[in-house]
Amino acid sequence: MDDLTDLFQRAAAHAAAYRASLDEAPVGVPPDLAALRSALAGDGLADASRSPGDVLAELVAAATPGLVATAGPRYFGFVVGSSLPAAAAADMMTSAWDQNAFNGVLSPAAVVAEEVAGGWLKELLGIPATASVGFVTGAQEANTVALAAARQHVLATAGWDVARDGLHGAPRVRVVVGGERHATVDRALRLLGLGTASVEPVAVDGNGAIDVADLERVLASAPAGPTIVCLQAGNVNTGACDDLRAACDLAHRHNAWVHVDGAFGLWAAATPALRHLVDGVELADSWGCDGHKWLNVPYDCGFVFCSRPEVHGAAVSYTAAYLVGTTGVAAGTSDFTLESSRRARGFAVWAALRQLGRDGVSELVERNCRLARRFAESLTAGGAEVANDVVLNQVLVGFGADDRTDRVIDRVQRDGTCWLGGTTWGGRRLMRISVSSWSTTEADVDRSVAAILRAAAD
């Protein structure tokens, strides 16, 4: 066996052994950072080279104690999927093939995989087939690119070319967005030179969805001008989805661009039982969604869609002398992302969608939501208080006073049966549970509920 084959087989064996350990491994126990640092730092950057096989063995030994079982069935922190077997294997191939998805000259296979998977994503998410698709790093980049397209369009409509003239002297852009938006929207506004002070917040209901009457009030409160409305499908704490149909209709009557941050909530469109939560999604102008959350593909992977491909391209594409003159190649989606050289994310997305099929995606989303309700019902029966309307896969739980809730969260995290975090919602500290993994079963939920109630008992 040659050296490379041996090396890759050893890597695959380590990967398989790790995955097989996840069902019983403690989930996210506090790490010994000093030990991790010394294991990885060793005696410092060495002068001498080492064999790849030794490096692999060293890496696995040094890193393993600091790994968190996010790829397992009982990790309920943040909003974290665990990569599907076909997607993880495809991602290993992506590394081995080492393709650059920048354009069709660099990798026809990478570009066509994105083209095909992008079409499937639009079908599943209820986005018009004519929309452009960019395969990005995640919802942060998706929101940034989409808001760049929005900025481009609303200023062009006001007679201003922001790509050429920037924002110096430009008409003011209004950004109308719900009070419970994700923080990545604010970062995008900072990066785009619009600034967070451009935000005109819209009131939200108890679950964090915008109040459409208040949206109307905010839109009418200033003279017509370049306006972006940013909606949300899936609040990161509660899972709440804005009323997309009513809000899009209203925003369009005010000539606003509508962006939907649907990092995970957009997946409600992929299942008949939950599609009503994102009714009207097709009416928006741009959409952001994650792959590495609910689609359960490896990090880093997200999607940005735009109903006006030419605006999308005008906002973020570029050209250079060395890039023109090749004919007969697939165009690729790099005109729609912020990166030039880029990981070939389409392979893992293609593989996840092939493994699941339409039925599998629907089953995954519905099961996770059903399991979230199971958490809510079992914890309520055990004396805890569920503080949100469990519309999707997110559950907020209180155990009395804030310090008591924080103590319960801390105990659960140290126990290792499952992992979940805390948040502040409605001025209270709450335990935050997100069910987003393909591998989570009823038994996992029941084991986790028992661990949580044990932690709350003493």
CB of 182 to ligand PLP, least distance (A): 3
The angle, 0 to 180 degrees and rounded to 10, between the axes of the packed helices 346-381 and 108-125 is: 40
Contacts of 213 (CB under 8 A, 6+ apart): none
CB of 61 to ligand PLP, least distance (A): 30
If the CB atoms of residues 125 and 314 are measured against ligand PLP, the closer one turns out to be: 125
CB of 124 to ligand PLP, least distance (A): 18
Q: Rounded CA gap, 59 and 57, in Å?
A: 6
β-strand pairing of 174-178 with 199-202: parallel
By rule CB under 6 A, what string of x and - marks binding of each residue 351-390 to ligand PLP?
A: ----------------------------------------
Q: Which residue is nearest to ligand PLP (CB)?
A: 138
Count of alpha carbons within 13 angstroms of residue 207, beta-carbon side: 18
> Comparing C-alpha atoms, which of 427, 428, 411 is closest to residue 419?
411
Q: Rounded CA gap, 42 and 206, in Å?
A: 51
CB of 342 to ligand PLP, least distance (A): 16
If the CB atoms of residues 399 and 425 are measured against ligand PLP, the closer one turns out to be: 425
Count of alpha carbons within 13 angstroms of residue 27, beta-carbon side: 23
Looking only at residues 180 through 209 of this chain, which bind ligand PLP when binding is defined by CB under 6 A? 182, 184
- Please identify, among the stretches 137-145, 211-219, 326-334, 423-431, the one whose residues bind ligand PLP according to the rule CB under 6 A: 137-145
If the CB atoms of residues 99 and 184 are measured against ligand PLP, the closer one turns out to be: 184
Contact status, residue 228 vs residue 154, Cβ threshold 8 Å: yes
CB of 281 to ligand PLP, least distance (A): 14
- Please identify, among the stretches 136-144, 238-246, 335-343, 389-397, the one whose residues bind ligand PLP according to the rule CB under 6 A: 136-144
If the CB atoms of residues 297 and 384 are measured against ligand PLP, the closer one turns out to be: 297
Count of alpha carbons within 13 angstroms of residue 164, beta-carbon side: 4
CB of 77 to ligand PLP, least distance (A): 12
CB of 233 to ligand PLP, least distance (A): 8
Among 94, 140, 227, 436, binds ligand PLP (CB under 6 A): 140
Q: Rounded CA gap, 28 and 74, in Å?
A: 10
Looking only at residues 54 through 93 of this chain, which bind ligand PLP when binding is defined by CB under 6 A? 79
Q: Rounded CA gap, 224 and 174, in Å?
A: 10
CB of 136 to ligand PLP, least distance (A): 9
Looking only at residues 288 through 347 of this chain, which bind ligand PLP when binding is defined by CB under 6 A? 290, 302
Q: Rounded CA gap, 364 and 162, in Å?
A: 42
CB of 392 to ligand PLP, least distance (A): 11
- Please identify, among the stretches 10-18, 135-143, 319-327, 398-406, the one whose residues bind ligand PLP according to the rule CB under 6 A: 135-143
- Segment (H or E) for 268: none
CB of 259 to ligand PLP, least distance (A): 11
Contact status, residue 315 vs residue 151, Cβ threshold 8 Å: yes
Q: Rounded CA gap, 289 and 163, in Å?
A: 25
Among 11, 84, 101, 139, binds ligand PLP (CB under 6 A): 139
If the CB atoms of residues 104 and 234 are measured against ligand PLP, the closer one turns out to be: 234
Q: 2: cis peptide before it, omega within 30°?
A: no
> Comparing C-alpha atoms, which of 167, 146, 142, 144 is closest to residue 155?
167
Q: Which amino acid is at 105?
A: V
Looking only at residues 207 through 266 of this chain, which bind ligand PLP when binding is defined by CB under 6 A? 232, 234, 236, 261, 263-264
Q: Helices then strands (H, E): number in the chain?
A: 14, 11
Report helix, strand or coil for 434: strand
Instruction: Please report, as ranges, the residues that interact with ligand PLP according to CB under 6 A.
Output: 79, 138-140, 182, 184, 232, 234, 236, 261, 263-264, 290, 302
